[in-house]
Structure 1
Amino acid sequence: MKKRFSTMQRSGVLKRIFTCVIALALAMPMTVQTGWAATTSYTVTVADGYLALRNAKAYDDKNEIGKLYTGDTVDVTDSSGSTYWYVYASRLKKSGYVNRRYLANSSSERYVSVKSGYLALRNAKAFKSSNEVAELYTGDKVQIADSSDSTYWLVYVPGLGKGGYVNKDYLVKNKDNTASAVVTKTVKVKSGYLALRNVKAYDDANEIGQLNNGDTVQVQDSSGSTYWYVYSSRLGKSGYVNKNYLQ
């Protein structure tokens, strides 16, 4: 004789089975998969202005959805693009596209190496005193954002929290290879003064300072046959002087 179960009994059995299934599922280890691969953090680096966060891979004022400044950090979630990478900006709490040439991180570190004086951090790719924004010295660490130019590279300076351009010829990969010797010369004039100039020429109009007998200068560039580029700590200036009056 077959035993029949009431509707209430069948419901109770189903509940017990469901409870057991849930308990087993919770006891099993779970692997959570997300839609993105592991992210890598980068620092925004611009010499001036801002880096636009965009909703499309194109340079267009209409697709800007945020502004990122030097020192802002972003998490790169898609780096497959040759120009634009997809990132998450925690400060803005937004995701979007940015030009990858303005991103730097520790994987591209270099060290400043100058024999004397300093390496100028600039807001433009040109050798001008007016575009200097900071002074970098031997051993200072920088992170490269853009190395496409033949002379000036865009870098981020963690120690200063600034971005800008530097002459790539004064960067080395290994800190142990940085220059340590500082070439110092003493001004020797029998009378008057030695002019510090902003160009390699003898002209009253290009004088930017006066160096007296006994003043010391640090030689930054001694490649010229007549004029050397030096730094005067007393004047707090760099410029050209006639090398024949240095000893």
Structure 2
Amino acid sequence: MYREARKALIVGIDDYPCSPLEGCVSDAVQLSKLLKSHYDGKPNFETKMLLSSNGKIEKTLLKEEIENLFSGSPVIALLYFAGHGYLNSYGGYLVTQDFDRYDEGVSMDEIMRCANESEAQNKVIILDCCYSGRLAAPRLVNRKVSELADGVTILTSCQATETAQENNKKGIFSSLLLDAIDGQCADLTGNILPSNIYAYIDRTLGQWGGQRPIFKTNVSAFISLKEVEPLIELSVT
């Protein structure tokens, strides 16, 4: 069970029956470590990890954990997925280890529905998989998935028709994501904001040219994902 404050579900799948990946589990583990506490040791996110190295991640399990993540009314619920993505004429999917033809995994449209219906104040979804940009462009047949509800933020590693690349056994997007959360995109007060994470990643991936991230949000103010040491002295009144 999560504490009702800041909770994160972090998923990394390397061990697929075919076309296995290499960096997803490692990226997920590192992200969990970064999110668990702030620079001064104060607790940050309560994280739950689903790693293919610890057991088979099937569609039913992943779907159940996503629904659990977005249940309740926490300050923030964050979903991170690193693994394979799949795209067909019906939509995009996060591929699980029990994938089959016509049943590839958890539908991105279904994830959007869960996030949009969630009572969490902030819902952040970060996907590092091929075709992940499809999450930001759901089918226009249901307003529950085609529009972003208040408090929803999406960051994906690539466009809807692009593939996400690995380099040196690591996802290029997630490597930049980890650097950003570790402080590379901090503002002067030491806060790591989703908008700054996107800007940091987009600058690098834009120069590289192999893939471009997508960022969509519907918030009145960004919530900080982590606090690192401020670049300026903060006065206390």
Q: Which has the higher contact order (CA 8 A, sep 6+)?
A: 2
Whose Rg is larger? Answer: 1
Structure (1/2) with the larger helix percentage: 2
Bin of the TM-score, shorter chain as denominator length = under 0.3
TM norm structure 1: 0.20
Structure (1/2) with the larger strand percentage: 1
TM norm structure 2: 0.21
